């Protein structure tokens, strides 16, 4: 509107409301984090020192399987606490006896789903963008006759997934069974990763293809 000073900052009342909102958000984050820790503890997940839990993750551990979260890792299940927001809580599941789900020290997950029927091992200092997904199983047999009337568990495709250290996984990327991701690799937003990713490579698309190298990563090594 002509003559209106649109650059004027919010008044003192708005500033006070913002302050209260920030304080409320922190209280809500800490309270939900406590509930989240209880979920992890009650499922028997092993937590390293200083793990931060923001919001309540969905966790289920099959009998005789193992979930371990490294020191100072961050599990963020709340849109208020991450720039992109999350469509759902962090989901961590082991699906079978003997399965292993490991998350390395200082790794951060935002609304990320990790399901291990065999083994999913994620290294240290990784960053997982909002709603990324890692699974080492197809969950159902491919042949209809093996799905109905009863699922033939032996016919389900499964293979361990390993993700190295310092890997950056873009929002809504999917890393599927049998994949090994090398140290320092970058997975583009929305990528569907079906084959191994070399250390220091940037991959993107569906199916994911190498589109570049991480600066400073050299020809074949990690950065």
Ligand X SMILES: CC(C)(COP(=O)(O)OP(=O)(O)OC[C@H]1O[C@@H](n2cnc3c(N)ncnc32)[C@H](O)[C@@H]1OP(=O)(O)O)[C@@H](O)C(=O)NCCC(=O)NCCS
Q: Which stretch binds ligand X (CB under 6 A): 6-14, 117-125, 133-141, 183-191?
A: 183-191
- The three-class DSSP label of residue 93 is strand
Query: Which residue among the candidates 88, 140, 148, 195 is catalytic per the annotation?
Result: 140
Q: Residue 204, interface with ligand X (CB under 6 A)?
A: yes
Give whole-number Cα distances, 59 to 89, 112, 154, in Å.
10, 12, 24
Which residues 6+ apart lie within 8 Å of 223 measured at CB? 166, 184, 200, 214, 215, 216, 217
Q: Which stretch binds ligand X (CB under 6 A): 15-23, 41-49, 177-185, 198-206?
A: 198-206
Is 88 one of the annotated active-site residues of the chain? no
Question: Which residues within the stretch 107-126 sit at the binding site for ligand X (CB under 6 A)?
Answer: 110
Give whole-number Cα distances, 210 to 58, 93, 184, 200, 214, in Å.
33, 29, 14, 10, 11
Q: Residue 129, interface with ligand X (CB under 6 A)?
A: yes
Q: Residue 190, interface with ligand X (CB under 6 A)?
A: yes
For residue 180, the Cα-to-chain-centroid distance in whole angstroms is: 16
- Shortest reach from residue 80's CB to ligand X, in Å: 15
Q: Residue 100, interface with ligand X (CB under 6 A)?
A: no
Residues lying near ligand X in the complex (CB under 6 A) are found at: 84, 110, 129-130, 170-171, 186, 188-190, 202, 204-205, 211-212
Q: Which residues belong to the active site?
A: 140
């Amino acid at each position: 509107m002509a003559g209106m000073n649109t650059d004027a900052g919010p008044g003192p009342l708005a500033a006070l409301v913002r302050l209260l909102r920030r304080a409320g958000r922190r209280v809500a984050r800490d309270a939900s984090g406590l509930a989240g820790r209880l979920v992890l503890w009650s499922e028997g997940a092993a937590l390293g020192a200083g793990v931060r839990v923001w919001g309540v993750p969905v966790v289920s551990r099959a009998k005789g399987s193992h979930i371990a979260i490294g020191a100072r890792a961050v599990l963020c299940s709340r849109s208020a606490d991450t720039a992109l927001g999350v469509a759902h809580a962090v989901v961590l599941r082991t699906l079978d006896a003997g399965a292993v789900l490991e998350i390395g020290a200082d790794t951060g997950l935002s609304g990320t789903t990790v399901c291990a029927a065999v083994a999913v091992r994620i290294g240290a200092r990784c960053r997982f963008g909002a709603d990324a997904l890692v699974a080492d199983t197809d969950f159902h047999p491919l042949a209809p006759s093996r799905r109905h009337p009863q699922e033939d568990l032996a016919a389900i495709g499964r293979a361990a997934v390993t993700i190295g250290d310092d890997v950056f996984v873009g929002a809504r990327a999917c890393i599927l069974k049998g994949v090994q991701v090398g140290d320092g690799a970058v997975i583009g937003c929305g990528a569907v990763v079906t084959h191994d990713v070399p250390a220091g490579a940037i991959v993107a698309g569906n199916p994911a293809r190498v589109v570049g190298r991480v600066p400073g990563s050299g020809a074949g090594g990690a950065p």
